[in-house]
Amino acid sequence: MALKQYLQFKLSQKLSPQQIQLMKLIQLPTQAFEQRLKQELEENPALDTGKESDTSEDTFDEFDNTDDYNDNDTIEAEDINVDEYLSDDEIPDYRTQANNYSSDDEEKSVPYAAGTSFTQHLINQLNTFRLSEQEEEIAYFLVGSVDESGYIRRSLSDITDDLAFTQNIYTSEEEIEKVLKIVHRLDPAGVGARNLQECLSIQLSRKEQHPDVELASAIIDKAFEQFTKKHYKKLMQKFSINEEQLKDAIEEIERLNPKPGGSYAGNNKIVEHIVPDFAIKIVDGELELTLNGRNAPELHVSREYNNMLKGYKDSKEKSKAQKDAVMFIKQKLDAAKWFIEAVRQRQQTLFVTMSAIMNYQKEYFLTGDERKLRPMILKDIADEIEMDVSTISRVANSKYVDTPYGTKLIKEFFSESMTNADGEEVSTREIKKILETVIEKENKKKPLTDEALSKILKEKGYPIARRTVAKYREQLDIPVARLRKEL
């Protein structure tokens, strides 16, 4: 019975719509918050932005929200009192403070790459070839199938079917292959390839031919798998060449572009533009935190809506229509006041959370040395500032901070811990940094295996198993030893 009551009690702990909206606001990074603010200003005429100096001193009692009246009802002036909406708190006291917010207020927009689209760029080139009507339609379809990296990743059989079903073009794989060879002559070199091997092969075939390029072409066309797996001895045996010749051929291959589409500036892709939500500076040997000023808008209740309420108060007789209008105004004022308070809470939550993270990782922010990062999980910060773990997660997962060492995603400062040989807790981030450093300094002709890396870390006081080394290496996007090998 007690368990049932406990479950019922737990289920009753539901978040209000306002709390849910606040959580959503906290999660938004600066640019998304600006969009949300703009949307709220457009949807709620009772909410206004900018400075408001004329404060109303009228005071009223709470408006009685009753529905038991008819069209002929009149309402006494003293029945409508709205001090909540006309009081001094329409100009919030949480405006920009020098110690909390930076002056980064200039308008910034997401830049777009200008110019002709990538597809149109390819079509313009097709127009210089002599093609039959059917070949031209197939060529246009193939160009339309090129992805942003410059590849056609669909099989010829699928393309044949699509041409029949969607374009009423009945053709064969042989004819498509013939037209594809024309697409392969377009710029940038390698566009329209079906895989990396074909992409590199096309680029090499269009280069000025000399022994190094010819050997590179033979390696890509006849021994691609051995090349990708860096089986250099097998390659030297297969082509009867020495190490120097192989090295020269590999250098030719390394000059090629594995993503020909990505190099075209006119593909109209949005350029990612990160706006830091915080900034940390070192001033006189101490850390100084600021919240981006664009997160601290000046909001107040619309003066026009205040005047509407004043007009209602001053009128002697009040009809149902007037009361309906006031009810609408009240609803909008409630929403405006809630939003202003939610923005204030968002600012406070962001600043308090980041301040706790900054102080927790003080040594790192003062030095920039990732080995100084302390083990830190969400709960550490949640306990420190007495907030819910989910709130800390919302701040950490989507916000960036500008530091003297570059702009960082806040969640990168969190890491689990492990105990080293001296019994001290160290951050897994610190271990990864040491692992990265060891790999950077290895002899690339004989790269270290995961087993060898594990032994080195143990010697340095970090008892890490081989499988854990492999996991950290993969998280760092570092390939296995064989693929790190160089001539």
What predicted TM-score, i.e. pTM, was given to this entire model? 0.51
**More confident call, 188 vs 17:** 188
Residue 433 has a pLDDT of 82
Q: For 322-348, how does the pLDDT look when each residue is reduced to its tens digit (9 = 90+)?
A: 777 777 877 888 888 888 888 899 999
Looking at residue 277, what is its pLDDT? 92
Report pLDDT digits (tens) over 73-91: 433 434 444 444 344 333 3
* pLDDT score of 420: 65
Higher pLDDT, 14 or 165: 165
Per-residue tokens: 455: 């032994």
pLDDT at 265: 46
For residue 284, what are the contacts with CB-CB under 8 A and spacing of at least 6? none
- Dihedral over alpha carbons 154, 156, 160, 161 (to 10 degrees): -50
User: Over 60: is that where the pLDDT of 181 sits?
Assistant: yes
Q: What is the pLDDT of residue 293?
A: 85
Structure confidence at residue 121 as a pLDDT band (50, 70, 90) = confident
The full 3-state SS of 217-251, as one line of letters, equals HHHHHHCHHHHHCCCHHHHHHHHCCCHHHHHHHHH
Instruction: Please state the rounded mean pLDDT for residues 218-244.
Output: 86
If one counts every other C-beta atom within 10 angstroms of the C-beta of residue 405, the result is 13
Please report the DSSP string for 113-173 in residue order.
--SS-HHHHHHHHHTTS---HHHHHHHHHHHHT--TTSB--S-HHHHHHHHHHHH-----H
Is 75 within 8 Å of 58 (Cβ atoms)? Answer: no
Q: What is the mean pLDDT of residues 158-187?
A: 85
**What is the pLDDT averaged over residues 444-470?**
85
pLDDT band at 107 (very low <50, low <70, confident <90, very high): very low
Reference 356, options 331, 334, 384; nearest CA is 384
Give the span between the Cα atoms of 190 and 328, in whole angstroms.
63
The band of 305, judged by pLDDT with boundaries at 50, 70 and 90, is confident
Q: What is the pLDDT of residue 112?
A: 38
The pLDDT-based confidence of 143 (bands split at 50, 70, 90) is confident
Strands 425-427 and 299-301 turn out to be unpaired
